[in-house]
Amino acid sequence: MKSAPKNRVRQAVAAGALLAVLGVTGCTANNLQATTIQYAASDGIVKDVGSIELRNILVISSEDGEPGRLLGTAINTSDSPVQLTIEAENETAEITIDAEESWVFEDEVDDDGTLAGIAEIPGSLLDLTFSSEEETATFNVPVLDGTLEEYREYVPGGYTPEPREPAATEEESEEES
Q: Answer whether residue 132 is part of any domain.
A: yes
Give me the number of domains the chain comprises.
1
Read off the CATH number of the domain in which 64 is found: 2.60.40
Judge whether 78 and 134 are in contact, CB under 8 Å.
no
Q: Is the pLDDT of residue 96 over 90?
A: yes
In the prediction, which pLDDT does 22 show? Answer: 66
Residue-range definition of the domain harbouring residue 77: 45-154
Q: Is residue 120 part of a domain?
A: yes
- 23 occurs within a structural domain: no
Residue 71 lies in a domain: yes
In which element (H, E) is residue 19 found?
helix 4-25
User: How do residues 18-71 score in pLDDT, each as one tens digit?
Assistant: 777 766 665 566 677 777 777 667 789 999 999 999 999 999 988 888 888 899
Round to whole Å and give the CA distance between 82 and 88: 20
**pTM reported for the whole predicted model:** 0.69
Residue 160 lies in a domain: no
